[in-house]
Amino acid sequence: MIKSFFDSNNIEYKENISLKKYNTYRLDTKCSYLVFPKTCNELILLLKELKKEKIPYLVLGNGSNIIFSMPTYTGVIIKLDYLNKVTYKDNTVTAEAGYSLIKLAMDTVEKGLSGLEFAAAIPGCVGASTAMNAGAYNSDISNVIESVKILTPDYKIINKSKEELSFSYRDSFLKQNKDYIVLSTTFKLLPGDKETMLNQIKERREKRIASQPLDMPSAGSVFRNPEGMYAGALIEAAKLKGYCIGDAMISEKHANFIVNKGNATGKEIIKLIEKIQKEVKDNYHIDLKLEQIIIE
Ligand SMILES: Cc1cc2nc3c(=O)[nH]c(=O)nc-3n(C[C@H](O)[C@H](O)[C@H](O)COP(=O)(O)OP(=O)(O)OC[C@H]3O[C@@H](n4cnc5c(N)ncnc54)[C@H](O)[C@@H]3O)c2cc1C
C-alpha cells in the first residue's frame, strides 16, 4: 500500500534493505523502506500519508548517535540527503538538515568564518546535530545558532530563534519533541584567521586519533559526562575496559566508547550499557546517563 503511494508520487525509496551502512555502529538492522524525499513539500506529503496509514517513522541523519535495538525496524526510515543546500549572507550561513556538519565546519573555515571549528570531527548531519546540540571543547552548536527552520507536527514551517528552543548540554526542545523536524539551521559566525583555525582543527584531530577508537565502528561517547567528572574515567576505574558482550566491546582505547568488533547487535550494546551503569552505580554511586539514542 505505502509502496504504491511512493510509486504514484515518484518518491525515491529503497526496499527491504540492511541499515548497516546508515549507522556508524554498523548494526545490521533491516528495514522495509528507506525513503529520500527530494523537497520539503514531498516530505510533508510523505508524513501526511504515514500518519493516515498509522505507520511509524524515524528521521535519520548520519546514524552516528543511535543504536538500533531490534533486528528489524518496523516503520519507514526517512533520510533528508536531498535537503543539502548551503547559503551564505555576510557572516551568516544557512545549511539544510541533510548537509554534513564536518563539511560545513570545513567550508566555513575555508571562507575565513569562525564558530564551527569545534564541529570539524563530529560525523553528523546539520539537522540531527542541531536537535542533539552536538558539541566539543566546551562549545556546542547552540553557541553559534541564530535560528532554526522547523516543520511542526501539523505541517507548518516555522522559524524559531535559539532562545525559543531550550538548548542545554546535548539537549534541546527538538530532541525532546521528535515530531518536530529541523529543515535548516542558520549560524551566526565571526571573521577568523583561516590558518589559525586549520591548525587548531589539525591538532584536535590528531588528539582524537590518539585517544579514540576511530578505526572501529562506534557512535562516539556512550554516556554524558556527569557534572565535574568524566564518564570514561569512571568506567576505566571500574576495570571495564575491554569487557565484551558478544561482539560489543568497551573500547580498550577510550572507556566511554563501545565498539563493534564485527557482528555486534543492538541488544548486545544495550546489555553492555546496562552492565556499565550497574558497575559504576555499585562502585561509585553515580548514575551514568546515556548520550546515544536507542531506537526501538
Ligand atoms: C567517532 C564519533 C565521534 C563523535 N564525536 C562527537 C562529539 O565530539 N560531540 C558530539 O556532540 N557528538 C559526537 N558524536 C555523536 C554524533 O556524531 C552527534 O550526536 C551527531 O550530532 C549526530 O548526528 P547524526 O546526523 O548522525 O544523527 P542520527 O544519529 O542520525 O540521529 C540522532 C537523532 O536526531 C534525530 N534527527 C535526525 N535528523 C533530524 C532532523 N532533521 N530534525 C530533528 N531530529 C532529527 C534522529 O531521529 C535521532 O533521534 C560522535 C560520533 C562518532 C561516531
How far apart CA 76 and CA 66 sit, in angstroms, is 16
Amino acid 264: pLDDT:
98
- Residue 156: Cβ-neighbour burial (10 angstroms; 0-12, 13-18, 19+): exposed
- Tell me, using a 6 A CB cutoff, whether residue 132 lines ligand 1: yes
pLDDT tens, position by position, 91-101: 999 999 999 99
pTM of the model as a whole = 0.96
Q: Left if phi > 0, otherwise alpha if psi is -120 to 50, otherwise beta: which for 138?
A: left
Return the residue whose CA atom lies nearest to atom 35 of ligand 1: 128
Determine if ligand 1 sits within 6 Å of the CB of residue 104.
Answer: no
Question: Active-site residues: which are they?
Answer: 170, 221, 291
Summarised one tens digit per residue, pLDDT across range 246-285 is: 999 999 999 999 999 999 999 999 999 999 999 999 999 9
Q: Is residue 106's pLDDT more than 90? A: yes
Reading phi first (left if > 0) and then psi (alpha if -120 to 50, else beta), residue 170 is in left
54 C-alpha to ligand 1 centroid (Å): 26
pLDDT band at 166 (very low <50, low <70, confident <90, very high): very high
Return mean pLDDT, the chain: 97
pLDDT mean over 66-75: 97
Set of cell numbers at residue 174: 527538538
Q: What is residue 296's predicted lDDT score, i.e. its pLDDT?
A: 93
pLDDT of residue 269: 98
Q: What average pLDDT does this structure show over 131-155?
A: 97
Measured in angstroms, how far is the CA atom of residue 7 from the centroid of ligand 1? 30
Nearest CA, atom 6, ligand 1? 122
| pLDDT reported for residue 11 | 98
What pLDDT digit, counting tens, does each position of 10-64 carry?
A: 999 999 999 999 999 999 999 999 999 999 999 999 999 999 999 999 999 999 9
Whether 184 lines ligand 1, by a CB cut-off of 6 Å, is no
Ligand 1 center to 24 CA (angstroms): 10
Measured CA to CA, the distance from residue 97 to residue 155 in angstroms comes to 16
Whether residue 133 has its Cβ less than 6 Å from ligand 1? no
Query: What's the CA-to-centroid distance between 295 and ligand 1, angstroms?
Result: 13
Q: Measured from the CB, is residue 125 less than 6 Å from ligand 1?
A: yes
Question: What are the chain's domains?
Answer: 2-79 (3.30.43.10), 86-196 (3.30.465.10), 214-295 (3.90.78.10)
Name the residue at shortest CA distance from atom 45 of ligand 1.
Answer: 128
The mean pLDDT value for 113-135 works out to 98
- Which of 67, 116, 122 is the best mutation target for the ligand 1 pocket, counting ligand atoms within 8 Å of the beta carbon and taking the most? 122
Q: How confident is the model at residue 1 (pLDDT cuts 50, 70, 90)?
A: confident
Mean per-residue pLDDT for 64-83?
A: 97
| % of the chain with per-residue pLDDT over 70 | 100
Average pLDDT of the segment spanning 137-155:
97
